[in-house]
Amino acid sequence: MLTLAVDGLIASGVVDHIVIMAPAELIGEAQCLLSDRAGLACPPSPVPVSVVAGGDERTDSVRAGIAAAPQASHFLVHDAARALTPPSMIARVVAELRAGHRAVVPGLAVTDTIKSVDAQGDVTGTPDRAGLRAIQTPQGFQARLLREAYAAGMRATDDAGLVEMFGARVRVIPGDPLAFKITTPLDLRLACALLADRDVLSTEAAR
């Protein structure tokens, strides 16, 4: 998943530097995975890739990544678990940033009915799903905005939520079903099936 996510970022053609935030005890393993890309028939990376120690919480890890790229003008915060994210979607996020938006996230329309519930499990409301989006990554930000939001010491479940708390407007662009998060055994089976289909198509195209 890590190497697939890195390959997608590189293939987008819009990323200048990749910083991987890994648990301190797994830094060596992450570095080995990256160095073994050649063994997986991957060309040498045209983009510098570095690995730094993350933290206990997501915000701690992203803060470490920000510190590792002090010259960046923009940041993309991406989940390796969204390993099949299309490079074209990554490029669209960056295009919106270059167009002047300070915060950009991809999102999909919600197709299920959503209920809010209380601590006892009783329904307290049914929001209109027409105005809801399931947010994906990478989430893109003007570097100064994200640095200032993190310097304020706030915490949120995602970085868009953090800059929202900081008062910034966040633009949502159409996401992609392939950018789903691989978190359950069913997700993993789906990802493997999609990769197998992709490999078959690539083999047939090469003939």
Percent share of the chain, pLDDT over 70: 91
From CA 155, how far away is CA 153, in angstroms rounded? 7
pLDDT at 33 (0 to 100): 84
Question: What CATH number should be reported for the domain holding residue 171?
Answer: 3.90.550.10
For residue 162, give Cα distances in angstroms to 22, 56, 109, 155.
21, 17, 22, 6
Residues 40-82 pLDDT 10s:
455 566 888 999 999 988 889 999 999 999 999 999 999 999 9
How many domains are contained in the chain? 1
Closest CA to 85 of 26, 33, 135: 135
Residue 18 lies in domain = 2-206
The two beta strands, 139-142 and 116-117, are: unpaired
Residues 19-40 pLDDT 10s:
999 999 999 998 888 876 544 4
From CA 183, how far away is CA 197, in angstroms rounded? 21
pLDDT at 207 (0 to 100): 55
User: How large is the average pLDDT for residues 112-120?
Assistant: 95
pLDDT at 204 (0 to 100): 54
Q: For all residues of the chain together, what is the average pLDDT?
A: 91
The pTM is what?
A: 0.89
Residue 103 CA, chain-centre distance (Å), reads: 14
